Chains A and B, each alone.
Chain A
Amino acid sequence: MVAEIGQFSLILALIAALLQGTLPLYGAHRHNMQLMNFGGNASLVQFLFLTVAFIALTIGYVTSDFSILNVASNSHSLKPMLYKISGVWGNHEGSLLLWVWILALFGFAVAAFGKNLPGSLKARVIAVQGLIGVGFLLFVIFTSNPFERIDPAPFDGRGLNPLLQDPGLAFHPPFLYLGYVGLSVTFSFAIAALIEGKVDPAWARWVRPWTLAAWGFLTLGIALGSWWAYYELGWGGWWFWDPVENASFMPWLAATALLHSAIVVEKRDTLKNWTILLAIVSFSLSLLGTFLVRSGVLNSVHAFASDPTRGVFILIFLVAVVGGSLLLYALRAPKMKGGGLFAPISREGALVLNNLLLSTATATVLLGTLYPLFLDAFTGAKVSVGPPFFNSTFLPLAIPLVIAIGVGPLLPWKRADLRGVLSRLKLAVLSIFVILGLTWWLADGGPFLSLVGMAIFAWLLVGALVEWAERIKLFRTGFGNSWRRMVNLPRSAHGMTIAHVGVALVVLGITAAETWQSERLEVMKPGESADVGGYTYLFKGAEQIKGPNYDSLQGTFVVSKDGREVVTLYPEQRVYANPPMETTEAAIYPMLSADLYAVIGEQDGKGGYATRIYHKPLISWIWIGSIVMFIGGLFSLSDRRFRIGAARRKQVPSGSAA
Chain B
Amino acid sequence: MRAFFFSLIVGGVLLAGSMAEAVFVDERLADPAEETRAREISEGIRCLVCQNQSIMDSNADLARDLRGVVRERVAAGDTDDQVRDYLVVRYGDWVLLNPPFKMKTALLWVGPAVIFLLGGLAAIAFLRRRSSAGGGEAVQRLSPEEQEELDRLLRDGKEDDRG
Say which residue of B25, B44, B146, B162 sits within 8 Å of A608 (CB atoms): B25
Q: Which of chain A's residues have a CB closer than 8 A to the CB of B15?
A: 579-581
List the B residue with the shortest CB-CB distance to A610: B25
- B1-32, CB under 8 A of A: which get 1 and which 0? 10110011011000100100011111000000
Q: How far is the CA of A658 from the CA of B24 in the complex (A)?
A: 73
A648 to chain B, nearest CB (A): 9
Say which residue of B59, B95, B140, B150 sits within 8 Å of A384 (CB atoms): B95
A465 to chain B, nearest CB (A): 14
CB of A423 within 8 A of chain B? no
* Contact between A201 and B149, CB atoms less than 8 A apart: yes
Residues 330-364 (chain A) with a chain B CB within 8 angstroms: 337-344, 347-349, 352-353, 355-356, 359-360, 363-364
CB of A385 within 8 A of chain B? yes
* Contact between A389 and B108, CB atoms less than 8 A apart: yes
List chain B positions with a Cβ less than 8 A from chain A.
1, 3-4, 7-8, 10-11, 15, 18, 22-26, 44, 46, 50-54, 56-57, 59, 92-99, 104-105, 107-109, 111-112, 115-116, 119-120, 123, 126-128, 130-131, 133, 135, 138-140, 142-143, 145-146, 149-150, 152-154, 157, 160-163
A242 and B52 contact, Cβ closer than 8 Å, known pairs A73-B4, A388-B44, A653-B146: yes
* Contact between A384 and B112, CB atoms less than 8 A apart: no
CB of A368 within 8 A of chain B? yes
Q: How far is the CA of A344 from the CA of B135 in the complex (A)?
A: 14
Q: How far is the CA of A243 from the CA of B97 in the complex (A)?
A: 13
CB of A582 within 8 A of chain B? yes
Can you list 5 A-B pairs with a CB-CB distance of less than 8 A?
Answer: A301-B51, A337-B138, A386-B99, A409-B163, A602-B25
Q: How far is the CA of A374 from the CA of B111 in the complex (A)?
A: 13
Say which residue of A397, A492, A604 sits within 8 Å of B25 (CB atoms): A604
Q: Report, nearest first, the 8 A-B pairs whose CB atoms are least far apart.
A: A386-B97, A388-B98, A496-B163, A337-B140, A235-B57, A364-B112, A299-B51, A493-B163
A375 to chain B, nearest CB (A): 6
* Contact between A343 and B111, CB atoms less than 8 A apart: no
* Contact between B146 and A523, CB atoms less than 8 A apart: no
Say which residue of A158, A242, A375, A580 sits within 8 Å of B104 (CB atoms): A375
Say which residue of A150, A352, A368, A409 sits within 8 Å of B4 (CB atoms): A150
* Contact between B99 and A384, CB atoms less than 8 A apart: yes
List the A residue with the shortest CB-CB distance to B51: A299
CB of A413 within 8 A of chain B? yes
Which of A72, A337, A347, A360 gathers the greatest number of chain B CB atoms within 10 Å?
Answer: A360
A-B contact count (CB 8 A): 198
Q: How far is the CA of A259 from the CA of B71 in the complex (A)?
A: 49
- A608-645, CB under 8 A of B: which get 1 and which 0? 10100000000000000000000000000000000000
Say which residue of B7, B46, B59 sits within 8 Å of A305 (CB atoms): B7
* Contact between A367 and B112, CB atoms less than 8 A apart: yes
B1 to chain A, nearest CB (A): 6
Q: Which of chain B's residues have a CB closer than 8 A to the CB of A289?
A: none
CB of A269 within 8 A of chain B? yes
CB of A605 within 8 A of chain B? yes
A653 and B11 contact, Cβ closer than 8 Å, known pairs A150-B4, A604-B23: no
* Contact between A382 and B162, CB atoms less than 8 A apart: no
Q: How far is the CA of A608 from the CA of B4 in the complex (A)?
A: 41
Q: How far is the CA of A267 from the CA of B7 in the complex (A)?
A: 55
* Contact between A73 and B7, CB atoms less than 8 A apart: yes
Q: How far is the CA of A398 from the CA of B41 in the complex (A)?
A: 26
Q: Which of chain B's residues have a CB closer than 8 A to the CB of A397?
A: 112, 116
Q: Which of chain A's residues have a CB closer than 8 A to the CB of B56?
A: 235
A440 to chain B, nearest CB (A): 23
Residues 554-600 (chain A) with a chain B CB within 8 angstroms: 579-582, 584
